[in-house]
């Protein structure tokens, strides 16, 4: 097939190297080459947010970015949110509030929500809703998701 | 006890860390092959030539299969063998699988699938209701007709009559995890299938037929789905069968997942329906008779369309005791995707029909639409006293007729557990209905641009499969000698929390913590001959089967321990992780070990079948349901009359889950179902063009509710009743019923549009912004 690209990058803090084809997306690379299957493909066209990751702290749809573009970047995925066994406050609240059902949107929503709280530690509810508007969930109806994010934000502000 | 507790989803920790494995996440060998279908580009005709040379020559392609290459059955239908896996020469819809590409990667397979050159003798497709009626293209010999009393006469004699005709669109499931399956060839021609399916037994059955082997050669395992909603009841058959056939051919692991566009183009959706109605009523608002005509576009194959259309008929009364009703249901065969199961299974369509009638009648009479509904409700008959008294402080509908109603549904089933009088009163009070009704009227009187509306809708949903033999379930439970428990049953987990609820039942039976119970993947090798996890029946059926299995083991343990310690069996108690045997107390683990040493079998199956059912679907008579689940919703919306843009401002919901097994999970089901139901009737629009191409096949063109669409105020609570029937811990099924609460959002939009003039808005569904824009003009110009 086509020429392979050699890419050096950082994933969840670990230096990573991989070879990929010119057409492979970061999502393909993460899932098929690095066995990080937390990011999901819900649409492949940037409309559902199931594949959300951050690249140099910017929220990105992994299905819209080529693997070759990851050179020299720092990527964070859902697998990097917890510190070992210690869950991030967002993860704890999502469990506690039952803010998930089938769970397949959850990785993308957590990545997006964490990115929001890093940039806006004190978001309004409207801000949360519009920040997460690109992350579709077919199961929950979103109410518990919003409440989990709002309450985590409050908790994290108190803690810091 | 673990039941009745709000425990999180069993896999929640796996979900939040990204460690929960869905089919596409399961590690497979490096030489795994990936499959894609080549699909038709016309809606109807015959294939005259199929040139697949370029497909075969494409990079990465290992094999290309057509119908002729299939070794045994070429069929993936769940009902009447009318659904070939690969076209046998005839094309029935645009997107129909014609050939199968087996390649080294998913992308290689998909790319190659587009390289075929296919010649067709094209025929004019049957796409619309008119087309189908003109061609008499239908399933069954003619329409099904059920009748209670003489509706035609009742309408003719009624003081007032309304009539109308409207369309209700279909709905794409949009499970966030697309269809997926994986086949691993085993020794001796056996195969293991991992499938994202609600119906592992069906997959096993179809794979067996396709491989020419008995069901015992096929094991199907399903740990979880990323959403199902009915879309994985039969629509996964094609992928699993394709993988099995390719695995047999190549001897390698084969995987198939639909890309989102393929998924939407190939698979079936909710049935769209056209409903015509005539209703006769008194000046006081007593509805005397209703006639319905249902026209469902079922698509090209029968699939589950007959029971879906039946269920639409079965919910044409919803919560109302109507003395005379006639329902005529046409199941039309069209050259479109084969419409299939979707949460509510036809019930929502039927219910929208009668809610439309109630709305229209209330508008015609100028009566409050809630009062009109209450007036026509079934009577609360039960002696159990579980309902609040029907005359409520908030809303005593004046002049309510005190005559006793016959309380018979149009299909002759007595409604014995009617909860809606009390529920409605409670909801109206907690949602401050009267004050808000007045406030909305005031707002509308002084605002011309933004109009507000309130919509109320009740739900009465029948629980049980209408194909009575499906109402059975099995379970398998082992207690190990260390006191840990292995739990298996026939239900599948698609996010609804079934596994957790059933594990709570098991833990309660043994008096142990939930941690002692291991939840395991649904597996046809452990529990055979299961029904689909559908019809909301998951916890009802599997909970009871698990209870039976646990009780068998517990009784054996109790008998042995009683003998060992010389006490009566009645003196053995399993409680909070301990087993009390007379005066002795031991841990559950010690008890299990003692039983093992005493050569007591610690493994048992459990079985359950729903009692009291008897149903004649041809005559439309009998008791198809064990019981009803109820709910009520009040929704407030605002519509911008210049653009049709609209928002749900507030939704208040009271839902009946009986004595809930897990209130947190049940409330989650209610919230998600309401939003999904509101999406169906507002923004989710499926569009086919005149050639039969589905033009809305991705989230970019098909709009499901997003976070930003969620109601600003969303109050959801559970009605603290109990199931009057003996279900598992007196709980009620909760998967489907709350979906229909979304009808209140559609009614609220209608109410807002009605505020623009005198005429009845007569909305179709979905009431998209565009449709509302037109409706506002219609009402204003009338
Ligand atoms: S898969 Fe990337 S946005 Fe949907
Ligand atoms: S929990 Fe299923 S899609 Fe969000």
Q: Are residues A69 and A12 in the same domain?
A: yes
Q: What is the DSSP letter of B309?
A: H
Pocket mutation for ligand 2, best pick of A103, A108, A134 (most atoms within 8 Å of C-beta): A103
Tell me, yes or no, whether A52 and A93 share the same domain: no
Q: Are residues A17 and A58 in the same domain?
A: yes
DSSP 8-class letter at B138: B
Which is it for the CA torsion B635, B731, A91, B172, positive or negative? negative
The set of residues, in sequence order, having a beta carbon less than 8 Å from that of B637 and lying 6+ positions away, is B452, B453, B455, B646, B647, B648, B649, B745, B748, B749, B751, B752
Residue whose C-alpha is closest to residue B261's, from B693, B685, B697: B697
Quick: pLDDT tens for B321-333. Answer: 999 999 999 999 9
B115 HSE (CA, 13 A, CB side) = 16
Give B552-605 as a DSSP string: HHHHHHHHHHHHHTT--GGGEEEETTEEEETTEEEEHHHHHHHHHHTT---EEE
Same domain, A15 and A58: yes
A99 lines ligand 2 (CB under 6 A): no
Answer whether B24 sits within 8 Å of A39, measured CB to CB: no
Q: Based on the fold, state whether residues A44 and A67 are members of the same structural domain.
A: yes
Q: Which residues line ligand 1 (CB under 6 A)?
A: A 41-44, 46-51, 61, 63
Q: Are residues A101 and A68 in the same domain?
A: no
User: A76 with A10, same domain?
Assistant: yes
Cα B586 to ligand 2 centre (Å)? 42
pLDDT tens, B169-221? 999 999 999 999 999 999 999 999 999 999 999 999 999 999 999 999 999 99
Share of chain B above pLDDT 90, in %: 94
Model confidence at B590: pLDDT above 90 = yes
Query: In chain A, which among 44-73 make CB contacts under 8 A with chain B?
Result: 44-45, 47-48, 50
The DSSP 8-state label assigned to residue B91 in this structure reads E
Q: What is the DSSP string of B372-406?
A: HHHHHBPP---SS--SPPSS-SS---TT---SPP-
Q: Which residue has the tokens 């069209």?
A: B334
Q: Find the CATH number of the domain harbouring A57.
A: 3.10.20.30
DSSP string for B226-245: S--TTTTSSTTHHHHHHHHH
Which atom of ligand 2 is the closest one to the Cα of A138? 3
pLDDT digits (tens, 9 = 90+) for B707-716: 989 899 999 9
Please report the pLDDT score of residue A3 as a whole number. 82
A74 and A94 share one domain: no
Domain count for chain A: 2
Which ligand ends up closest to the CA of A41? 1
Distance in Å, CA B176 to ligand 2 centroid:
7
| Residue A32 exposure: Cα atoms within 13 Å on the Cβ side | 21
Nearest CA residue ID for atom 3, ligand 1: A46
For residue B383, pLDDT beyond 60: no
Q: Assign residue A54 a region: left if phi > 0, alpha if psi is -120 to 50, beta otherwise?
A: beta
Indicate if A123 and A146 belong to the same structural domain: yes
**CATH code assigned at A141:** 1.10.150.120
Say whether both A122 and A72 belong to one domain.
no
Question: By the CB < 8 Å criterion, does A139 face chain B?
Answer: yes
Q: Please tell me whether residues A96 and A126 are part of one structural domain.
A: yes
Q: Give me the pLDDT at residue B687, please.
A: 98
CA-based nearest distance B131→chain A, Å: 33
Where a domain ends, among A33, A58, A80?
A80
Is residue B736 part of the annotated active site? The answer reads yes
Q: 3-class SS at B38?
A: strand
Q: Can you count the helices (H) and strands (E) in chain A? A: 5, 5
Domain that holds residue A131: 89-159
Q: Based on the fold, state whether residues A111 and A146 are members of the same structural domain.
A: yes
Quote the CA–CA distance of A139 and B173 in Å, as a whole number.
Answer: 11
B392 band by pLDDT with thresholds 50, 70 and 90:
very low
Cis peptide before B709 (omega within 30 of 0): no
Domain endpoint, select from A80, A98, A128: A80
Length of chain B: 782
Using the 3D structure, point to which of A56, A80, A104 is the last residue of a domain: A80
Angle at B68 between CA B67 and CA B69, to 5 degrees: 90
Whether B24 sits inside 8 A of A41 (CB atoms) is yes
B479-507, pLDDT tens digit by residue?
A: 999 999 999 999 999 999 999 999 999 99
B664, pLDDT greater than 70: yes
Strand partners, B575: B578
B727: β partners: none
**pLDDT score of B385:** 41
With bands split at pLDDT 50, 70 and 90, how would you rate the model's confidence at B10?
Answer: confident
Could you give the dihedral angle defined by the CA atoms of residues B24, B28, B33 and B36, in that order, rounded to the nearest 10 degrees? -10
């Amino acid at each position: 097939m086509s020429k392979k690209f050699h890419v050096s990058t950082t994933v969840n803090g670990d230096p990573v190297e991989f070879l990929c084809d010119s057409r492979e997306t970061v999502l393909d690379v993460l899932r098929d080459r690095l066995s990080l299957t937390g990011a999901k493909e819900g649409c492949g066209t940037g409309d559902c947010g199931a594949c959300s990751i951050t690249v140099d702290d910017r929220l990105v749809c992994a299905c819209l970015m080529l693997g070759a573009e990851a050179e020299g970047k720092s990527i964070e995925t859902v697998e990097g949110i917890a510190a070992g066994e210690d869950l991030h406050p967002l993860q704890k609240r999502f469990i506690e509030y039952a803010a998930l059902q089938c769970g397949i949107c959850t990785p993308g929503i957590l990545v997006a929500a964490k990115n929001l709280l890093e940039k806006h530690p004190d978001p309004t509810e409207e801000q949360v809703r519009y920040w997460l508007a690109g992350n579709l969930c077919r199961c929950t109806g979103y109410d518990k998701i919003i409440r989990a994010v709002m309450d985590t934000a409050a908790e994290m502000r108190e803690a810091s | 006890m673990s039941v009745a507790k709000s425990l999180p989803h069993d896999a929640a920790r796996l979900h939040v860390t990204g460690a929960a494995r869905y089919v596409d996440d399961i590690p497979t060998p490096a030489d795994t092959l990936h499959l894609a279908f080549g699909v038709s580009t016309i809606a109807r005709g015959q294939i005259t030539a199929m040139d697949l040379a370029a497909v075969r020559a494409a990079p990465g392609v290992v094999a290309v299969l057509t119908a002729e290459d299939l070794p045994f059955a070429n069929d993936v239908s769940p009902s009447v063998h009318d659904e070939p896996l690969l076209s046998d020469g005839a094309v029935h819809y645009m997107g129909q699988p014609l050939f199968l590409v087996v390649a080294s990667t998913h992308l290689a397979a998909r790319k190659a699938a587009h390289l075929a050159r296919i010649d067709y003798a094209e025929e004019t497709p049957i796409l619309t209701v008119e087309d189908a009626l003109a061609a008499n293209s239908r399933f069954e010999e003619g329409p099904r007709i059920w009748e209670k009393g003489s509706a035609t006469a009742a309408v003719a004699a009624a003081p007032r009559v309304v009539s109308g005709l409207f369309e209700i669109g279909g709905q794409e499931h949009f499970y966030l995890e697309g269809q997926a399956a994986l086949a691993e060839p085993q020794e001796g021609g056996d195969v293991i299938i991992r499938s994202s399916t609600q119906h592992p037994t069906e997959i096993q059955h179809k794979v067996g037929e396709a491989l020419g082997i008995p069901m015992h050669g096929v094991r199907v395992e399903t740990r979880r789905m990323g959403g199902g909603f009915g879309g994985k009841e039969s629509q996964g058959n094609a992928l699993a069968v394709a993988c099995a056939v390719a695995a047999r051919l190549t001897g390698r692991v084969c995987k198939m997942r639909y890309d989102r566009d393929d998924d939407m183009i190939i698979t079936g959706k909710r049935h769209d329906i056209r409903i015509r109605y005539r209703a006769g009523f008194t000046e006081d608002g007593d509805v005397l008779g209703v006639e319905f005509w249902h026209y469902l576009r079922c698509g090209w194959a029968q699939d589950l369309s007959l029971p879906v259309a039946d269920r639409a008929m079965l919910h044409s009364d919803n919560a109302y005791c109507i003395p005379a009703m006639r329902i005529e249901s046409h199941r039309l065969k069209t050259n479109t995707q084969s419409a299939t199961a979707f949460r509510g299974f036809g019930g929502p369509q039927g219910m929208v029909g009668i809610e439309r009638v109630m709305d229209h009648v209330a508008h015609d009479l100028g009566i409050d639409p809630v009062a009109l509904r209450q007036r026509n409700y079934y009577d609360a008959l039960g002696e159990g006293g579980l309902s609040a008294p029907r005359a409520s402080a908030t809303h005593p509908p004046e002049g309510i007729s005190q005559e006793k109603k016959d309380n018979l549904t149009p299909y002759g089933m007595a409604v014995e557990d009617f909860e809606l009088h009390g529920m409605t009163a409670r909801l109206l009070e907690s949602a401050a209905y009267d004050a808000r009704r007045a406030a909305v009227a005031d707002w509308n009187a002084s605002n011309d641009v933004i109009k507000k509306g309130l919509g109320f809708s009740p739900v009465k949903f029948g629980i049980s499969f209408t194909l009575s033999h499906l109402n059975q379930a099995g379970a398998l439970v082992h207690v190990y000698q260390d006191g840990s428990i292995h739990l298996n049953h026939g239900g599948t987990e698609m996010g609804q929390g079934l596994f957790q609820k059933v594990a709570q039942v098991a833990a309660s039976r043994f008096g142990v913590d939930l941690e002692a119970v291991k939840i395991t993947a649904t597996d046809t090798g452990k529990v055979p001959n299961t029904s689909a996890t559908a019809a909301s029946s998951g916890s009802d059926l599997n909970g009871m089967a698990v209870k039976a299995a646990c009780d068998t083991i517990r009784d054996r343990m109790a008998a042995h321990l009683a003998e060992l310690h010389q006490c009566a069996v009645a003196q053995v108690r399993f409680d909070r992780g301990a087993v009390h045997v007379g005066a002795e107390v031991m841990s559950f683990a010690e008890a299990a070990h003692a039983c093992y040493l005493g050569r007591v079998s610690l493994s048992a199956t459990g079985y359950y079948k729903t009692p009291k059912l008897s149903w004649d679907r041809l005559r439309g008579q009998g008791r198809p349901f064990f019981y009803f689940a109820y709910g009520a919703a009040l929704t407030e919306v605002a519509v911008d009359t210049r653009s049709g843009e609209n928002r749900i401002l507030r939704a208040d919901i009271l839902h009946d889950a009986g004595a809930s097994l897990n209130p947190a999970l049940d409330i989650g089901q209610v919230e998600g179902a309401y939003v999904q139901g509101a999406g169906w009737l507002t923004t989710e629009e499926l569009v086919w063009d005149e050639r039969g191409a589905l033009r809305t096949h991705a989230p970019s063109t098909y709009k499901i509710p997003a976070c930003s669409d969620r109601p600003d105020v969303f109050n959801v609570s559970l009605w603290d009743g109990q199931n009057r029937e003996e279900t598992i811990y007196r709980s009620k099924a909760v998967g489907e019923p709350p979906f229909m609460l979304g009808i209140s959002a559609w009614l609220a939009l209608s109410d807002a549009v009605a505020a623009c003039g005198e005429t009845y808005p007569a909305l179709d569904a979905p009431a998209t912004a565009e449709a509302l824009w037109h409706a506002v003009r219609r009402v204003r110009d009338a």
